[in-house]
Amino acid sequence: MAYKHDYDKILTRLTFILSRLNDGEALSVKELALEFNTSDRTIQRDFNERLLSFPIFQENKKWKMQDGFRVEKTNSLEDEIILDIMEKITEGIGGKFATKSRQLLSKIKNQDFNPIYAKLNIEDISDKFADIQIIETAIKEKREVECSYNDERHDVYVTTLQPLKIANYEGFWYLIAIQEETLKKYYLKNVSNVKLTQQAFITEKKLENLLENSISVWFQKDAEPYEVKIFANKIAAKYFQRRPLPTQSIETLGNDGTMEFVVKITHEMEILPIVKYWLPHMRVVEPQWIQDMIDDDLRGYLSIR
């Protein structure tokens, strides 16, 4: 959950990029990074994730809009783009959240047609609005909360937390918080009876970086990050070029379309499910013990057939 000025900067940049693409320009990642005083990775993420729904493509290291497609210009292109993106994101969440969002957006949109399509498999948390509102206030004001939590293994218990972020991993919502100096992740739908306290707390800057670079909910606060080198054949490689993992850096690109890349993780479960999902098109090169874990799991699976 970024602060308002972060959203403003992102939206301004995206609107500027789309406007130039719409005018037929071919845009370079490096040139845009210099223009906006940001990293190549941030601009690449704009194209690979934030602008994924638009018909854009990369050719000779420059991004272009597909021929024959134009974003219809209105009195405020920025407003139309933002509203279209918001509409598709909220549709993916579904439930009461999507219904209310659609009603609100219909009051301010000038047209019903939306050229953006986004299929997001995100769980509905509209029944948690009251608790989320309190949590958001606590995060902004850095104040502790008291709440009940059902860990699905024991009875519901009451605890005091220092909430850091509300995060979504693989479609599921979590409350990232400090509890008794330990970083924990709470499944948001199991959090209830949230009460704001007057007790303030201080957050560490490195936690912000840790959350920003996390791949999944398995990330660890006190573990030393380490590198994992992965080989991807031509079937898998193109997907990790289009949408890189956080901290991903490409080591080699083969003439046959294969790729070796490195990611930094703090727990093996950040990368194990990803590699398993892409089997047999990916494997871990280093460290060997992670590939050994995958091999053991495969042997165990095959033995029960």
Query: Both tokens of residue 242?
Result: 């289009």
Q: Which tens digits make up the pLDDT trace of 283-305?
A: 999 999 999 999 999 999 888 86
Range among 6-10, 108-112, 179-183, 219-223 rated most confident: 179-183
Q: Which tens digits make up the pLDDT trace of 12-71?
A: 788 888 888 888 889 999 999 998 888 888 898 888 877 876 778 888 889 988 876 655
What are the structural domain ranges in the chain?
4-65, 126-204, 226-303
Strand partners, 262: 229, 249
Q: Which fold does the domain 226-303 belong to in CATH?
A: Alpha-Beta Plaits (3.30.70)
* List of E strands, the chain: 27-28, 56-59, 62-65, 143-149, 157-169, 172-179, 182-187, 191-200, 226-232, 249-253, 259-265, 282-286
Chain Cα centroid distance, residue 102: 23
Residues 6 or more apart in contact with residue 106 via CB below 8 angstroms: none
Torsion sign across C-alpha atoms 10, 11, 15, 21: positive
Per DSSP, the three-state class of 20 is: helix
Q: Which fold does the domain 4-65 belong to in CATH?
A: Arc Repressor Mutant, subunit A (1.10.10)
126-204 CATH pick, 3.30.200, 2.30.30, 1.10.10, 1.10.3470? 2.30.30
Chain Cα centroid distance, residue 230: 21
Q: What is the pTM of this model?
A: 0.57
**Per-residue confidence (pLDDT) for residue 7, from 0 to 100:** 45
Angle in degrees, CA 83, 85, 86, rounded to 5: 65
